[in-house]
Amino acid sequence: MSDISLTIIDKAGTAHALTAGSGQNLMHLMREHVDMTIGTCGGEISCGTCLVQLGDGWAGGSVSVDEQDMLEALDAAPGCRLACQLSLEPTAAGITATIVAD
């Protein structure tokens, strides 16, 4: 499992430098290391608390119909994704993800 370094910006604007394994779920990583208040539905695409803005360099892969529906319900800006739907991959190295959920 290769290590992926990335930065998470929390709701207060504080940067957290983290290292993850390839395939690790971004929401679970953020819950464990940054903010326990996100991801309350456990990845069932029903809470919207894991909404993040991805920085340049990684778009997170394809968006499912269910995720797209939630992004539209949240009126999410372009480049936003549900972290629970994202599995980190080596191409995500160096990215910044900013928590934008309320």
Q: CA–CA separation, 4 vs 18, rounded Å? A: 8
Which of 39, 71, 76, 92 binds ligand FES (CB under 6 A)? It is 39
Interface with ligand FES, residue 41, by CB under 6 A? yes
Interface with ligand FES, residue 45, by CB under 6 A? yes
Whichever of 52 and 92 has its CB closer to ligand FES, that residue is 52
Q: Which pairs from 71-78 meet CB under 8 Å and 24+ separation?
A: 73/48, 74/48, 74/101, 76/51, 76/100, 77/53
Where on the chain is the footprint of ligand FES (CB under 6 A)?
A: 27, 39, 41, 43, 45-50, 82, 84
